[in-house]
């Protein structure tokens, strides 16, 4: 497996991106191609004495797409940007997957322009794993499409089911439609029109409406919504997790010696808890529906997150997720045609 890694994308590029690549090269059976300004990349690589013994290479790119740039305009204008060049390596067959912690909008745009869509998919979807007490719930979509029609949500449900089964090992994943209540009669026009369509699908295990709390309580394996709602849910969850950890630390500090002693005794458990809610544990979110493996990492990814993202890409390739999605989309189309006859 050969992974194209955008070394210039993200808040801590290229330092943390390169460091994560080195850790991944030591732990995963893959080759990593660092794409970006070669002088900057080699400057980071040379901080590690034995990096040249690892399966790491550098592919020079002269431009960088910044976070504030308009995605479509930037991708069209900056053909030699690290993000676009990395995607091109996959299209040309030189690499099997691309990972970027750069602009999400630009990543989605470059994936569509360069890799194209899987036949039968109208809009690719970002699938973000949300930790629960029983594993993860896959949130579909967390930001790729702010306006979605029922057919787009149906496609998200199929792709999320495939990914949950292939990568997380979930048998017959339970799919829910994010709504303001459990009843099929509740919701806006979008979800009211989507519910009966999901109910009639044969390739997913649809379990009805999911409320906001169901995302984290483990009642569903895949929760489907449009990217506008999904991105708000994701950012709220990230902010809440950080605030709770901050409040916990502040409370312990202000509560005196006994509280500090108790915290010391609980330290191993607290570390495990922090790991469960740390996005770096899950690395990145795949852009499902494009004709190739494209992993979008968090903008503030550190080396741990980049290493994890590379691990996700390796599993994605190993399980041949693209082919599985293609097969399930075709199967659902055939079944839908049969139902109409």
Structural domains in the chain plus CATH codes: 1-121+289-320 (3.40.718.10), 123-283 (3.40.718.10)
Question: Cα angle at 100 between 318 and 94, to 5 degrees?
Answer: 55
- Summarised one tens digit per residue, pLDDT across range 211-253 is 999 998 889 999 999 999 999 988 888 788 778 778 777 777 7
- Please state the three-class secondary structure of the chain as a single string: CEEEEECCCCCCCCHHHHHHHHHHHHHCCCEEEEEECHHHHHHHHCCCCCHHHCCEEEEECCECCCCCCCHHHHHHHCCCEHHHHHHHHHHCCCCCEEEECCCHHHHHHHHHHHCCECCCCCCCEEEEEEEECCEEEEEECCCCCCCCCHHHHHHHHHHHHHHHHHHHCCCCCEEEEECCCCCCCCCCHHHHHHHHHHHCCCCCEEEEEECCCHHHHCCCCEEECCHHHHHHHHHHHHHHHHHHHHHHHHHHHHCCHHHHHHHHHCHHHHHHHHHHCCHHHCCEEEEECECCEEEEECCCCCHHHHHHHHHHHHHHHHCCHHHHHHHHHHHHHHHHHHHHC
pLDDT band at residue 323 using 50, 70 and 90 as cut-offs: very high
Does 280 score more than 90 pLDDT?
no
- Summarised one tens digit per residue, pLDDT across range 72-117 is 999 999 999 999 999 999 999 999 999 999 999 999 999 999 999 9
pLDDT at 132: 83
pLDDT band at residue 333 using 50, 70 and 90 as cut-offs: confident
Residue 108 CA to residue 124 CA, distance in Å, equals 8
Give the pTM: 0.87
Residue pair 306/5 in contact by the 8 Å Cβ criterion: yes
Does 266 score more than 60 pLDDT?
no
Does 33 score more than 60 pLDDT?
yes
Mean pLDDT within 46-59? 94
């Amino acid at each position: 497996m050969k992974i194209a890694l955008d070394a210039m994308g993200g808040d801590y590029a290229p330092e943390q991106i390169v460091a994560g690549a080195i850790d991944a090269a030591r732990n995963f059976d893959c080759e990593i191609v660092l794409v970006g300004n070669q002088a900057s990349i080699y400057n980071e690589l040379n901080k590690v004495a034995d990096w040249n013994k690892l399966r790491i290479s550098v592919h020079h790119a002269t431009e960088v797409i910044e976070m504030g740039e308009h995605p479509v305009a930037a991708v069209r204008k900056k053909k030699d940007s690290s993000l676009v060049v990395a995607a091109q390596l996959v299209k040309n067959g030189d690499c099997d997957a691309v990972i970027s912690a750069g602009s999400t909008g630009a990543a989605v745009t470059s994936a569509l322009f360069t890799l194209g869509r899987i036949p039968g998919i109208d809009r690719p979807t970002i699938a973000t794993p949300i930790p629960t007490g029983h594993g993860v719930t896959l949130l579909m979509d967390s930001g790729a499409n702010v306006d979605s029609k029922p057919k787009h949500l149906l496609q998200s449900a199929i792709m999320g089911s495939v990914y949950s089964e292939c990568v997380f090992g979930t048998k017959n994943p339970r799919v829910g439609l994010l709504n303001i209540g459990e009843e099929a009669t509740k919701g806006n026009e979008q979800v009211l029109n989507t519910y009966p369509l999901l109910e009639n699908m044969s390739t997913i295990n649809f379990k009805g409406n999911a409320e906001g709390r169901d995302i984290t309580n483990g009642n569903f394996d895949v929760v489907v919504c449009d990217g506008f709602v999904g991105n708000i849910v994701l950012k709220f969850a990230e902010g809440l997790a950080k605030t709770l950890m901050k409040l916990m630390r502040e409370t312990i500090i202000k509560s005196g010696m006994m509280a500090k002693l108790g915290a010391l005794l609980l330290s191993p458990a607290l570390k495990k808890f922090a790991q469960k809610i740390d996005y770096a544990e899950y690395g990145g979110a795949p852009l499902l529906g494009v004709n190739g493996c494209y992993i979008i990492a968090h903008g503030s990814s550190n080396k741990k997150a980049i290493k994890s993202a590379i691990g996700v890409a390796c599993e994605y390739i190993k399980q041949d997720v693209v082919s599985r999605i293609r097969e399930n989309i075709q199967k659902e189309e055939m079944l839908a045609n049969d139902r109409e006859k």
